[in-house]
Chain A
């Protein structure tokens, strides 16, 4: 009589092989999850642990036996009997070339692991020629879809341009943007529902933008900083971090991280304070928090100055 009611039907298990190694994963799991179970890791850039995969960067591609093209490991669900190779020539070539393409067009100096992957895959972004000079401010934002200045080929075009500094809290340095869509998804329907930013333009001239490229204070931005939380490249950063990097004082080896509870309201979000030289230099939030998934509001994210008001007499 009292038979327990299962809350969800048990997930069927699927057998796949990763680099020749057999592994059993729940139906619907991604190739990346199958890889993780066998201890194989895939490089990722646009994948976010709190977001729906956009599979735009294509650095995680793997070879699926019998498929015409490579598949993004971050998002492709496994199928029974799937045989995946993560280190074939095709995979290495695609990953190397994607790194070269991104490295030659974007400033990856603050992208964690970029350098390491470049070395691992022997990527040489400089092979496309010297980098073009950064575009003047606003030039990329004014480009029209469907036309471009014919290049001479003497220099390799980049997305570099001056950083957008239009408020006291955070900086948008789109010369470092790989267009992973994560900030847009976090600001929009996946988390914040503010929709202050979108992707505008097309092709190489596509860029993250407010409407008509208005400054952030004139946009719908509420400064929750949830875009900074997910940005994989450092294109979005706290003003404090941006300034310290410019001064050359940013030093992560000297930073301590303390996770605590935001005291502003009853939601009680977890905040992780990054402290260098006894100053809070940035605030993040744990992604594994089952309630907030790394999201905060302006108060938890930026409202820390009162903690470090000191008398300067």
Chain B
């Protein structure tokens, strides 16, 4: 490729940050010093382009070091990886956490999404705007830090939440949750200017272990699990019980027994157990896991890949975070079993960029597992080789869509691909790929230990096993709950303490922004895939977001619409423009000035087209929650008697 670069020179911090990921430049061809010998050969071809998948890590490295990606830094990355600058620019501008404009080292992400909105995020936002200036404003007093409004940070049990990230060597983070405006203001205190080179030293984890100045120490992950320590838990049994940093402790609590069992069963045996367990995906689409594994294992093309989808960005979802923070080794063990069964030697764990603590715990777990031959060559003397690489997202909900994950890992824009072909046939790097959600994978451990048929006896006929539910909103004990499939919504809400004295449940959002609302008088819905479906709802990723009668539903709907407008990848017309028109119509309706009849018609027409004609699940579900709020909750229903006539 004959590429044209900007000829902007990166500074030493930028160069060092990139080189720490890519190694030193080899010659003048890839951005190093130009020597006479360089003129005697041309670097190019596949060899020069083969490391395209390091684009995202390289962008992160610079953003982590200096807080933004300067033209010179982007140029240097492009030279190093032989990526056209226009393409790299397209990739960098796809992600919300990257900035292509100079900005302060510290960025505070203030969640204004549904769960936080139900807990007063609007007030905090208004107060912050007054104290600190508008979001994204780096001109005022607080020039050492800026704040942005953020989609769901996955800290819903402690809503309202804020996450501060500070560039440096190493980068640091702090969480404020539940946050008051003054906690967030404290996080905005400018850090001391840091220009110290790191001498090429790479610590074991990306982020520094101690929180940045102004932040406080986060509670342990078990604080998100009100049932922690209760006997009989399957998926959450180790949370709050084991030391998440210690492999010995993990093993002392039954860790790696499942892998040993898997190695005894052999790949076909593992798949048989998973098929018999009836396990279906917990990422939202509820696809049978055994069938997916079988289909990948059968593919003649090689190599096979495994991807663990830890992007968890569905508003209201935080179960994967709790698993990764509280029991990280279980994720790695489960990935190893999945890879063994499907014939993959390489696994990628794609984790959203807003989960720095989970990232650190996983980095530690992988390093320790490697140290004990639980990853790497000839695992436990079985002859099976497998290793895991972590890839960090950078603020894009769409990158959780299974094919968008692949594009993101490959260093392309996180746009979903059209299916067919399906991932089992052509997935990551065009190879047969198994992609599973974190919770799905973790379920494989009990399946190995108790056997598929025993597992299948948990839950109902159509939905087997235990399930994690992310309870948030206006309940007294929000958190991750584990229940066997088949419990009702009422059971779950009773466990979580219900809404405050004297308040009534106005609505429960099941399945997240892509899910649907049900009413407070529909609590007998069984929490199973088939039960939710029969009730015209969905379990999705296990979101149970409770809104009592103090919450303004119209503004919640506007927030959902704004979320989809922000998170659409922009690839296909129905979703790209439809999400904008949906938000506009909802603003008109919420403002009360518009003709309800006209606006509801607009919403229904646009919604139907998005559902029918969009490429991926984002556009196809972008109208679900709004539709259910209109039809089931009667939001925007006529105040008079003509409801049936007018609301249609």
Contact = CB atoms under 8 A, between A and B. Distances in A.
Interface of A: 55-59, 61, 69-70, 72, 75, 77, 90, 93-94, 97-98, 101-102, 104-105, 127-129, 142, 144-148, 150-154, 156-157, 178-179, 181, 188, 193, 195-206, 209-212, 214, 219-220
A212 B100 contact: yes
Contact of B591 (A144, A153, A179): A153
A146 B567 contact: yes
A195 B584 contact: no
A210 B576 CA distance: 21
Contacts of A209: 86, 89-90, 93
Contacts of A181: 571
Majority secondary structure, A binding face = loop
A101 B584 contact: no
Interface in B216-255: none
B613 A203 contact: no
A45 B596 CA distance: 33
Contacts of B577: 101-102, 104-105, 204
Task: List the 4 closest A-B pairs by CB distance, nearest first.
Answer: A146-B96, A206-B570, A195-B84, A97-B609
Given A101-B581, A148-B565, A211-B88, A93 B609 contact: yes
Given A58-B613, A69-B611, A94-B613, A147 B573 contact: no
B100 A204 contact: no
B443 to A, nearest CB: 26
Contacts of A75: 418
A109 B395 CA distance: 36
B380 to A, nearest CB: 43
B612 to A, nearest CB: 5
Contacts of B576: 179, 203-204, 206
Contacts of B90: 198-200, 209
Given A70-B612, A211-B74, 6 more contacts: A56-B573, A58-B615, A61-B613, A146-B396, A148-B562, A198-B84
Task: Kindly name the residue among B74, B84, B151, B608 whose own CB sees the greatest number of chain A CB atoms within 10 A.
Answer: B84
Given A98-B574, A195-B3, A146 B151 contact: yes
A204 B572 contact: no
Contacts of B418: 55, 72, 75
A193 B1 contact: yes
A56 B571 contact: yes
A293 to B, nearest CB: 20
A211 B395 CA distance: 21
A152 B573 contact: no
Given A58-B574, A195-B84, A128 B584 contact: yes
B94 interface: yes
Given A97-B606, A144-B96, A145-B395, A203 B570 contact: yes
B86 A179 contact: no
B566 A195 contact: no
Majority secondary structure, B binding face = helix
Contacts of A201: 93-94, 570
B215 to A, nearest CB: 23
Contacts of B296: none
B565 A128 contact: no
27 contacts: A55-B572, A58-B614, A69-B614, A70-B612, A94-B608, A97-B605, A101-B578, A101-B581, A150-B562, A152-B591, A153-B585, A156-B581, A157-B580, A195-B84, A196-B84, A198-B89, A198-B90, A199-B90, A202-B93, A202-B94, A202-B96, A205-B570, A211-B71, A211-B89, A212-B89, A212-B100, A220-B3
A105 B602 CA distance: 15
A288 B160 CA distance: 60
Nearest to A157: B580
Nearest to B588: A153
Task: Kindly name the residue among B420, B585, B609, B620 whose own CB sees the greatest number of chain A CB atoms within 10 A.
Answer: B609
Interface string B54-95: 000000000000000001001000000000111111100111
Interface string B588-605: 100100100010001001
B292 to A, nearest CB: 18
B192 to A, nearest CB: 27
B519 interface: no
B109 to A, nearest CB: 10
A197 B96 contact: no
Contacts of A129: 584
A56 to B, nearest CB: 5
Given A104-B581, A146-B96, A210 B574 contact: no
Contact of A203 (B565, B585, B594): B565
A193 B86 CA distance: 12
Nearest to A97: B609
B1 A70 contact: no
A90 B608 CA distance: 9
Contact of A150 (B136, B396, B587, B612): B587
Given A145-B94, A201-B94, A220-B84, A153 B572 contact: no
B309 interface: no
B52 to A, nearest CB: 12
Contacts of B587: 150-153
Contacts of A57: 572-573
Contacts of B570: 179, 199, 201-206
Contacts of A193: 1-2
B85 A211 contact: yes
B583 interface: yes
A145 B95 contact: yes
B533 interface: no
A98 B88 CA distance: 30
A98 B579 contact: no
Contact of A69 (B562, B605, B613): B613
A57 B568 CA distance: 14
B4 A219 contact: yes
Nearest to B88: A211
A144 B136 contact: yes
Nearest to B558: A150
Contact of B86 (A69, A146, A220): A220
B6 interface: yes
Contacts of A179: 570-571, 573, 576
Nearest to A187: B86
Contacts of B591: 152-153
A147 B566 contact: yes
Contacts of B562: 148, 150
A200 B74 CA distance: 14
Contact of A101 (B96, B101, B420, B573): B573
Interface in B350-402: 395-396
A102 B573 contact: yes
B84 A147 contact: no
Interface in B529-568: 562, 565-568
A153 B90 CA distance: 29
B413 interface: yes
Given A104-B581, A153-B588, A147 B136 contact: yes
B574 A127 contact: no
Interface in B594-639: 594, 598, 602, 605-606, 608-609, 611-615, 620
Nearest to A106: B577
B148 interface: yes
B19 interface: no
Contacts of B574: 58, 94, 97-98, 101
Task: Kindly name the residue among A127, A197, A204 whose own CB sees the greatest number of chain B CB atoms within 10 A.
Answer: A204
Given A55-B615, A146-B96, A98 B609 contact: yes
Nearest to A105: B577
Nearest to A77: B420
Contacts of A55: 418, 572, 615
A127 B612 contact: no
B120 to A, nearest CB: 19
Contacts of B1: 193, 195
Given A59-B573, A146-B396, A200 B93 contact: yes
Contacts of A97: 574, 578, 605-606, 608-609, 613
A292 to B, nearest CB: 20
